[in-house]
């Protein structure tokens, strides 16, 4: 099986992309951008580079999660890997549930 993250440099790059992409999405909300009045930036409202930046951030979060699961499983920490598999999606669903209640 091929490693998801080969070395520390690629892990740092993915983490950097995640922070930048997700941070940019939150900054649009915090700065009261007129495109964010409805709480979502759709593909019709966004510039192409904004979509690419946000998608890179989201993709790198999933890569980091997958690599942490792979690392925990391969080092014999199967309980932690299962914990990551179960808790991460539940925390995402909980966050989405809170967002829909506020809207």
Q: What is the pLDDT of residues 66-99, one digit of tens each?
A: 888 888 898 999 999 999 889 888 887 887 777 6
Domain assignment present for 35: yes
Q: What are the DSSP calls for 24-59, one per residue?
A: HHHHHHHTT-GGGTTS---TTTS-HHHHHHHHHHHH
Domain assignment present for 2: no
Domain assignment present for 73: yes
Total structural domains within the chain: 1
Tell me the pLDDT band of 30, cut-offs 50, 70 and 90. Answer: low
Tell me the pLDDT band of 4, cut-offs 50, 70 and 90. Answer: low
Domain assignment present for 3: no
Q: What angle do CA 53, 56, 60 make, to 5 degrees?
A: 145
Domain assignment present for 1: no
Q: Which domain holds residue 91?
A: 8-102
Does pTM surpass 0.75? no
Average pLDDT, the chain: 76
Say which residue, 83 or 27, is predicted with more confidence. 83
Domain assignment present for 51: yes
């Amino acid at each position: 099986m091929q490693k998801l993250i080969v070395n520390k440099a690629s892990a740092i790059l993915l983490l950097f992309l995640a922070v930048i992409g997700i941070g940019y999405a939150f900054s649009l909300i915090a700065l009261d951008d007129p495109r964010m009045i409805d709480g979502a930036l759709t593909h019709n409202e966004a510039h192409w580079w904004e979509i690419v930046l946000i998608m890179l951030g989201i993709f790198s979060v999933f890569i980091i999660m997958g690599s942490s699961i792979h690392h925990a499983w391969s080092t014999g920490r199967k309980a932690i890997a299962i914990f990551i598999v179960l808790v991460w999606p539940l925390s995402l669903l909980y966050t989405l549930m809170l967002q829909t209640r506020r809207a």
